[in-house]
A = this chain, B = another copy of it.
Amino acid sequence: MLHFDTDYMRGAHPEVMRRLQETNLDQTTGYGTDPHTAHARELILQACGLQQGAVYFLAGGTQTNATVIDSVLARHEGVIGAETAHINVHEAGAVEATGHKVIALPAHNGKIDPAELEAWLESFFADGTYEHMVIPGMVYISQPTELGTLYSLGELEAISRICRSRGIVLYADGARLGYGLASEACDATLEDLARLADVFYIGGTKVGALFGEAVVVTRPELFAHAVTNIKRRGALMAKGRLLGVQFETLFTDGLYLELAANAVDKAMQIKRIFTEAGYALAIDSPTNQQFFVLPNAVMDRLHEHATFELWGPRGPKETMVRFVTDWATSQADVDELARLVELAAQP
């Protein structure tokens, strides 16, 4: 059985496991005060081209979003996101649980449109009653988005400019950041992101780590009293060095992007397999998530030998589906999928 359900079905890249094993019996101080964490911080700031900045390591994405958003916003502020934003849909209200509203803007293939954002802010602050409303204090984007799409450099620059002109924080959720950066379609580098966003996180859980996300704060004063705030949200790992060791490994010798490149390469092959077989793209994604519209009969036959998710409800005749690759997807997996797609086309 092949598995293309999602990118967190396996453990960690072997090199990450090797380093965890190697350091396993070392004794270090806790809560991220160890040398591995310090080293990982340094490597990440360097990769981001940042002279200064703070880096914090947390265990998972929802935890990271809730902690960052609550810690950076003033209590009366909310966070703007696309309707399809992970924080708006799939985090069980974790942001609202911290007391902050998610203000949803229309999503265009998972993205906020900069012009719509600007118009919305314009109209918000022009409204004489805005003091009775949730004040927008942050814009949340996902890079790549929940639908695998990417913000272009131009879009990031536009959104960043809009945010800065209004004193609004720009925060990028990079749960799958590697799979974005490794895409040929991506014209915004990690350094660009570090220059344009105020806070963002580099996802490890889905990109080669056992677990872990690295929060980069380019203006550290935004996330004051970080240790206390992270602890308060139950997100301060006792054995913080586990996160340090993992990111140290991923950011040594370009492993992070190398891993990601494999997933994107395999995803592009899968895209070709389906489109060449005549199936429509549901969304045109240049990253490791691929979305197709399949006739139900084809989908059902594929499901006998491969797992993958329905994206939305089963339709009467055809259904939208998602195939996800990761750092470990092999050429053999792709070749076998190609064979299955061919077979499934034959009634």
A67 within 8 A of B: yes
Indicate whether A108 reaches chain B with its CB closer than 8 angstroms: no
Q: How far is it, in angstroms, between the C-alpha of A5 and the C-alpha of B128 when the chains are bound?
A: 13
Contact between chains at B78 and A75 (CB < 8 Å): no
- Which residues of B have CB within 8 Å of A236? 60, 62, 132
Closest Cβ of chain B to A324, distance in Å, is 11
Bits for A304-318, please: 1 = Cβ < 8 Å to B, else 0: 000000100100000
Q: Are B133 and A239 in contact (CB under 8 A)?
A: no
**Bound-complex Cα distance A263 to B24 (A):** 18
Is the Cβ of A131 less than 8 Å from the Cβ of B227? Answer: yes
Judge whether B6 and A133 touch: CB under 8 Å.
no
Stretch in A7-15, A157-165, A266-274 touching the partner: A7-15
Chain B residue at minimum C-beta to C-beta distance from A104:
B104
Taking a contact as CB atoms closer than 8 A, the residue among B8, B93, B129 that contacts A90 in the complex is B129
Q: How far is the CB of A56 from chain B (nearest CB, A)?
A: 13
Q: Is A281 an interface residue (CB 8 A)?
A: no
- Specify the chain B residue showing the minimal Cβ separation from A228: B76
- CB-CB contacts below 8 Å: A175-218 with B: 205-206, 210-211
Cβ A11 vs Cβ B328 within 8 A: no
In the bound complex, residues from chain B placing their C-beta under 8 Å from that of A65 are 234
Expressed in whole angstroms, the minimum distance between the Cβ of A74 and any Cβ of chain B is: 7
B328 lies within 8 A of A25 (CB): yes
Q: In whole Å, how far is A288's beta carbon from the nearest beta carbon of chain B?
A: 15
The answer to whether B101 and A76 have CB atoms under 8 Å apart is: no
Find out whether the CB atom of B100 lies under 8 angstroms from the CB atom of A228: no
* Residues in B whose Cβ lies below 8 Å from that of A134: 92-93, 96
Closest to A232 in B: B92
- Most chain B CB within 10 A, of A24, A102, A234, A310, is at A234
Most buried by B among A6, A21, A65: A21
- CB of B234 within 8 A of CB of A210, answer no
The residues in A between 22 and 37 inclusive whose CB is less than 8 angstroms from any CB of B are: 23-31
A contacts, CB < 8 Å to B: 3, 5-6, 8-12, 14, 17, 20-21, 23-31, 59-67, 70-71, 74-76, 78, 89-94, 96-102, 104, 123, 126-129, 131-135, 205-206, 210-211, 224-225, 227-229, 231-239, 242, 310, 313, 328
Given contacts A11-B20, A101-B102, 15 further A-B contacts (CB under 8 A): A5-B29, A6-B30, A10-B27, A63-B63, A63-B235, A67-B234, A75-B229, A76-B225, A90-B133, A93-B232, A94-B231, A96-B101, A99-B99, A131-B227, A135-B228
> 28 A-B contacts, Cβ less than 8 Å apart?
A3-B27, A8-B238, A9-B27, A9-B239, A10-B26, A14-B24, A17-B20, A60-B237, A62-B231, A62-B234, A74-B225, A75-B229, A76-B225, A76-B232, A92-B131, A92-B134, A93-B134, A93-B232, A94-B231, A94-B234, A96-B99, A97-B233, A123-B313, A128-B310, A132-B228, A211-B239, A211-B242, A233-B234
